[in-house]
């Protein structure tokens, strides 16, 4: 039986100094691409959705797509809610069979963040679901207000002790939702955080982080890396190519198939960056 336990895989990655990729699957072709790349690389991956993703396809559609993908692969596809905004959405995802949830109250007060995370942790524990939360603020990933405040070691230590989260997202100069690979990450801060914390760290906005920096972050203690823009960018490239032509195709299956192929390559490349190839056996 394939083990889909998020906490097991993230802790194993942390212990062995590699990282598991969380790739957001906002529609069918993205789901197919992520699953195909994981299968080819023999790597466990986290198949994610967001509040916007749920609004786009519906939670039931996402779960159904993921279930088919799981039947067609024999590597772990771990279902994850990325940037969950409220307890109701988290509850619905857990009840729908998710293996991992992120509750993001990082823009709330410290006490408000802790209170909501504690409620999610209590709920998730009863279902064997892993919990991620965030302390510190990063650039908004889905069009919200642009705010950035780096995480401090002191608040991170207190937050983990106060909430009992399984893995922690931190603000370290990362830029979620951005293409390119020019983001300057505060690697010394990551080292200090990892040395002080008993849980693995999570990097959001992994698309815009250079490969050499990714390696340094994994060595420092990052064990889960989120990728969203790289997958979206593959689809954008194929659609711009197809519909920027003077006589664009009518049959949308052709550009979407091309986009899916580009997304497979993008996901497989990041799996290699993270050192996850072959880890599923």
Is 224 part of any domain?
yes
Average pLDDT over residues 57-72: 97
pLDDT band at 142 (very low <50, low <70, confident <90, very high): low
What pLDDT digit, counting tens, does each position of 230-271 carry? 999 999 999 999 999 888 899 999 999 999 999 999 999 999
pLDDT at res. 156: 97
Is 17 part of any domain?
yes
Is 214 part of any domain?
yes
Q: Which of 141, 147, 137, 115 is nearest to 49 (CA)?
A: 141
pLDDT band at 97 (very low <50, low <70, confident <90, very high): very high
The total of structural domains in the chain comes to 1
> Considering only 21-35, 73-87, 129-143, 214-228, which range has the smallest mean pLDDT?
129-143
What pLDDT digit, counting tens, does each position of 210-225 carry? 999 999 999 999 999 9
Average pLDDT over residues 7-22: 98
pLDDT at res. 139: 56
Is 1 part of any domain?
no
Specify whether the CB–CB gap between 23 and 58 falls below 8 A. no
pLDDT at res. 51: 96
Q: CATH no. for residue 259?
A: 3.20.20.70
pLDDT at res. 137: 74
pLDDT band at 69 (very low <50, low <70, confident <90, very high): very high
What is the overall mean pLDDT for the chain? 93
Is 279 part of any domain?
no
What pLDDT digit, counting tens, does each position of 102-126 carry? 999 998 999 999 999 999 999 999 9
Q: Which of 176, 169, 174 is nearest to 202 (CA)?
A: 169
Q: Does 23 score more than 90 pLDDT?
A: yes
Is 278 part of any domain?
no
What residue has token string 């999610």?
120
Here the tokens at position 208 are: 């815009």
Average pLDDT over residues 66-95: 97
CA-to-CA separations, 91 to 61, 79, 101, in angstroms, rounded? 17, 14, 9
**What is the helix (H) or strand (E) element at residue 182, kind and residue range?**
none
How open is the CA angle 227-126-10, to the nearest 5 degrees?
30
Question: How far is the first Cα of the chain from the last one, in angstroms, to the nearest whole number?
Answer: 13
> Considering only 86-100, 134-148, 156-170, 242-256, which range has the smallest mean pLDDT?
134-148
CA distance 21 to 194: 19
Catalytic residues: 82
What residue has token string 């937050």?
159
Q: Cα 98 to chain center, whole Å?
A: 13
pLDDT at res. 262: 98
Q: Does 140 score more than 60 pLDDT?
A: no
Give the residue numbers spanning the domain of 172.
Answer: 6-273
Is 109 part of any domain?
yes
Whether this prediction's pTM lies above 0.85 is answered by: yes
Is 150 part of any domain?
yes
């Amino acid at each position: 039986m394939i083990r889909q336990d998020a906490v097991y895989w993230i802790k194993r990655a942390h212990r062995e100094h590699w990282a598991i990729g969380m790739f957001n699957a906002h529609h069918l072709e993205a789901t197919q691409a992520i699953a195909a790349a994981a299968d080819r690389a023999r790597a466990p991956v986290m198949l994610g959705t967001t509040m916007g993703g749920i609004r786009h396809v519906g939670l039931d559609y996402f779960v159904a797509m993921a279930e088919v993908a799981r039947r067609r692969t024999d590597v772990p596809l771990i279902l994850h809610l990325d940037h969950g905004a409220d307890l109701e959405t988290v509850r619905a995802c857990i009840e729908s069979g998710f293996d991992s949830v992120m509750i993001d109250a990082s823009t709330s007060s410290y006490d408000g963040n802790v209170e909501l995370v504690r409620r999610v942790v209590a709920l998730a524990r009863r279902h064997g679901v892993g919990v991620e939360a965030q302390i510190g603020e990063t650039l908004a990933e889905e069009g919200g207000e642009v705010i950035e405040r780096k995480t401090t070691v002191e608040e991170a230590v207190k937050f983990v002790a106060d909430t009992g989260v399984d893995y922690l997202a931190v603000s370290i100069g990362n830029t979620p939702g951005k293409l390119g690979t020019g983001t300057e990450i505060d690697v010394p801060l990551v080292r200090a955080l990892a040395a002080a914390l008993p849980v693995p760290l999570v990097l959001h906005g992994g698309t815009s982080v250079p490969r050499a920096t990714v390696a340094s972050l994994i060595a420092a203690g990052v064990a889960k890396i989120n990728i969203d823009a790289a997958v979206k960018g593959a689809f954008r490239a194929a659609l711009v190519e197809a519909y920027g032509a003077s006589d664009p195709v009518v049959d949308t299956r052709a550009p979407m198939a091309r986009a899916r192929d580009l997304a497979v390559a993008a996901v497989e490349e990041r799996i290699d960056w993270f050192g996850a190839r072959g880890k599923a056996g």
